[in-house]
Structure 1
Amino acid sequence: MASSSAAASSSRLPQSAYNPRRHVGVHAERVSDVSSTEYPGHYPGEDHSWDLAKFRENLKVEVKRLSQRSVEFDLVGVDASIANAFRRIMIAEIPTIATEHVYVWNNTSVIHDEVLAHRIGLVPLNVPPGMFKYRNPNGVPTDQDTIVFKLNVTCEVDKNTSKEKGAPRKLIHEEVLSGDLEWVPQGEQASVFTGDLPPPAPTNKNIVLAKLRPGQEIDMDLHAIKGVGKDHAKWSPVATASYRLHPLVILNPSKPIPPHLAQKFANCFSPGVVQVGKGGRVSIDERNLRKESMSREVLRHKEFEGSVELKRIRDWFIFTVESEGPYAPQDLFPESIRVMREKIANIRHAAEALLADVDGAPGAVAADGDVEMGGV
């Protein structure tokens, strides 16, 4: 993560951000200059062949905000298809551990077994997925692919409650919380989860699962296994993963904002984006441009027509990711890169196998790993 001094020096937009080729126009009722070709960023009569050095020069990943559960970072220099691939992988293909099998021994609450099981399955667990294998659907559960929890809660009246007339009645276990899930170690798991590695438990122990009245009981065994979000949302490691294109507001120097309308003009944008100086001089604060909501309010006023252009930078993505599982928020993007690399490797191996079977002529693999078609 960049230091505060580095962040201050990079608060202004680079000059390349004003390159018209990188802009998507935002108008009152439409957008313009949206790339719809099979090769975005390519122009006729120019050499746009792949250049790794140029790609490295344009690529930038910078964390802008980091908290315990969320991160905001900029991904610059890639096509929308790549940015969206990372977003979809973070939502649906990074593995986590979640409750899959629920064995109900007793449930006298008002919540049906299936509904309660579904609620429990959505409780995020703090178990590192890398420590476990995917469970074989037809195999026997082992300590290497299954985490076992027990939920045994009975609601009863607190015997220490005052017996005076009109005194409120206190109940024990009136609410069943996620913190009531008790981990039951299997095999060698007790020796693994020691020291700095906390025992398996919900990441939030205050999630209400059910409410009970005196005499009602819930007794269940829960088996949590490894999975991915594309199979069920309970395995998704994020609460949300989204991006937006970096806003850009460009003033027209040939038609400046009249001083008596400067404050009205500033009020059309998010706070801090437009600065009003002495004499009603209007300027754009590039440090706060990322806060602009692009509401297009300024385009509703005819007096500002032709004085300003609203744009977005097509290859500058502002990601917002909220973690709800065992991953720290700053680890989710590197994990999505790892998953994408595995998918690319699988495609490469499949292509090599396909070429090896074409007319009995095996495909040669170049030094850089690319498959050469050879005489096929």
Structure 2
Amino acid sequence: MVSQTELDRRKIVGINAETVTNVTSTDYPGQWPGEDHSWDLDFFKKTFNVQFHSNDEFDASFSLIGLDASVANAFRRILIAEVPTVAIEDIFVIHNTSIIQDEVLCHRMGLIPFRGSRDGLRWMHWFRKGTDEDPEGSTHNDYNVCILNLQIECTWQPGGQNRAVNGETDPNKLYNNHNVYARDIVYEPTGQQISRFADDPVRAVNPDILVAKLRPEQKINMRMYAMKGIGADHAKFSPVATASYRLLPTIDILKPILGLQAQKFARCFPKGVIELQPVTREEAQRKGSGYEGHEGEMKAVVKDPMRDTVSRECLRHDEFKGKVKLGRVRDHFIFRVESTGQWESDELFLESVKLLKIKAQRMKRGLAALMR
């Protein structure tokens, strides 16, 4: 029977001044010679845990505890590249007399993140473009295309020309529609989209995105087709601004760090990681504690290791050698998911779980077919 101390040691990746130790030690994740580590659902239920640290609408942070790195990385890759969203794909420029060239303006429009009904997004079909092997592809219809229009023209305000002659330079006092924002893009529902997107129509996530600047007699008239896609096709379809994870840092103080050394030690870490506390009477009286005769003196204690960035700064100072040990927990993944707006951040993770489940089911069916 393996001791708990040994199990805890296996989980820690050692962070030294110049090296990283205990990174990989087995042929297969979680396997050790002479031990039975066959996967068991009941054991996984007992050891796996999810902890939320923050959960705002478009920014969530949570920990997955008890997973292998391969599974955590699968979630990260799915979040970035396989959860679908809607983005502008085809644009018909009818009129553009702004200073921005047609191709640059179209590129800017394509990168604007949009949001709409999640049920409507799931209902939409994938648009299949024609290829040399399949020249026909899909046709534009209400099942696979959302139509967006941008029609805007800059004009003088009443009396604006006279104010300009008199030296007025504030465009807000001289012109109408001199700034083109994402809010000026109008969604035109067609067919079943009228009911599918009735409660939550397609619109820009941030209505204040500046698209272009105009001056009197300049105008833009564009008809755009937004389609369903995934980040693997193009980054504009990615539902996240970032989806990343890091391992939980560990900081073990092996010997007492007191007084001025404790203050210096705290400055080696980001704010909030190390806290200074007075040595209690019980600690000062306990033999072998290292605090004998230091009652009331300030000592360094670990407050919140999750804030640590593992800079190793404390390992660069000779006075801390042998007094601190840094590491990371190999099965504790701290995720940070920032949504672009189509999905809420916590929903995104649930969608990635569903997609990974579908992948596993496909593989299971494929293996079953091979065994026939």
TM-score (norm 2): 0.86
Q: 1:158 maps to what in 2?
A: 157
Give the secondary-structure state (helix, strand or coil) at the position aligned to 2:115.
Answer: coil
Q: CA deviation at 1:274?
A: 1.8
Q: CA deviation at 1:310?
A: 0.4
Give the secondary-structure state (helix, strand or coil) at the position aligned to 2:346.
Answer: helix
Kept in 1, the 8 Å contact 2:270–2:307? The answer is yes
Amino acid at match of 2:53: K
Q: 1:359 maps to what in 2?
A: none
Q: CA deviation at 1:124?
A: 1.0
Q: Show CA shifts across 1:95-125 (max 9, x none).
A: 1111111011111122222221111111111
Choose from 45, 51, 57 the match for 1:56. 45
Choose from 281, 287, 292 the match for 2:299. 281
Q: CA deviation at 1:160?
A: 4.6
Q: CA deviation at 1:321?
A: 0.5
Q: 2:268 maps to what in 1?
A: 268
Q: CA deviation at 1:36?
A: 5.7
Amino acid at match of 1:132: M
After TM superposition, the structure 1 stretch with the greater mean CA deviation from structure 2, 69-78 or 28-37, is: 28-37
Choose from 124, 133, 145 the match for 1:132. 124
Q: 1:73 maps to what in 2?
A: 62
Q: 1:44 maps to what in 2?
A: 33
Kept in 2, the 8 Å contact 1:24–1:311? The answer is yes
Amino acid at match of 1:200: V
Identity, % of aligned positions: 41
Give the secondary-structure state (helix, strand or coil) at the position aligned to 2:114.
Answer: coil
Q: CA deviation at 1:258?
A: 4.0
Q: 1:328 maps to what in 2?
A: 344
**Counterparts in 2 of 1:162 and 1:156: CA distance versus 1, 3 Å:** closer
**Counterparts in 2 of 1:103 and 1:36: CA distance versus 1, 3 Å:** farther
After TM superposition, the structure 1 stretch with the greater mean CA deviation from structure 2, 241-250 or 161-170, is: 161-170
Residue 185 (1) aligns with residue 185 (2): no
**Counterparts in 2 of 1:162 and 1:192: CA distance versus 1, 3 Å:** same
Q: 1:346 maps to what in 2?
A: 362
Q: 1:371 maps to what in 2?
A: none
Amino acid at match of 1:329: S
CA distance in 1, matches of 2:84, 2:369: 27
Give the secondary-structure state (helix, strand or coil) at the position aligned to 2:262.
Answer: helix
Residue 121 (1) aligns with residue 110 (2): yes
Q: Show CA shifts across 1:111-145 (max 9, x none).
A: 22222111111111112221311123212111121
After TM superposition, the structure 1 stretch with the greater mean CA deviation from structure 2, 299-308 or 43-52, is: 43-52
Q: 2:15 maps to what in 1?
A: 26
Q: Show CA shifts across 1:66-85 (max 9, x none).
A: 11210000011111111111
CA distance in 2, matches of 1:48, 1:193: 49
Once the two structures are superposed, the pairs formed by residues 90-109 of structure 1 within 5 Å of their partners are 90-109=79-98
Kept in 1, the 8 Å contact 2:58–2:341? The answer is no
CA distance in 1, matches of 2:175, 2:161: 12
CA distance in 2, matches of 1:182, 1:349: 44
Give the secondary-structure state (helix, strand or coil) at the position aligned to 2:158.
Answer: coil
**Counterparts in 2 of 1:52 and 1:16: CA distance versus 1, 3 Å:** farther
The two structures, once aligned, show a CA RMSD in angstroms of: 1.8
Amino acid at match of 1:158: Q
Structure 1 outlier segments of 4+, above 3 Å? 15-18
After TM superposition, the structure 1 stretch with the greater mean CA deviation from structure 2, 257-266 or 103-112, is: 257-266
Q: CA deviation at 1:154?
A: 1.3
**Counterparts in 2 of 1:16 and 1:159: CA distance versus 1, 3 Å:** farther
Q: 1:167 maps to what in 2?
A: 168
CA distance in 2, matches of 1:29, 1:175: 53
CA distance in 2, matches of 1:112, 1:119: 11
Q: Show CA shifts across 1:223-267 (max 9, x none).
A: 011110000001000000011100100011xx3224341111111
CA distance in 2, matches of 1:110, 1:160: 25
Q: Which runs of 5+ in 2 are unaligned?
A: 130-136, 279-296
CA distance in 1, matches of 2:46, 2:358: 25
Amino acid at match of 2:168: A
**Count of paired positions:** 336
CA distance in 2, matches of 1:347, 1:149: 39
Residue 239 (1) aligns with residue 238 (2): no
Q: CA deviation at 1:31?
A: 0.9
Amino acid at match of 2:175: L
Give the secondary-structure state (helix, strand or coil) at the position aligned to 1:73.
Answer: strand
CA distance in 2, matches of 1:102, 1:17: 61
After TM superposition, the structure 1 stretch with the greater mean CA deviation from structure 2, 29-38 or 162-171, is: 162-171
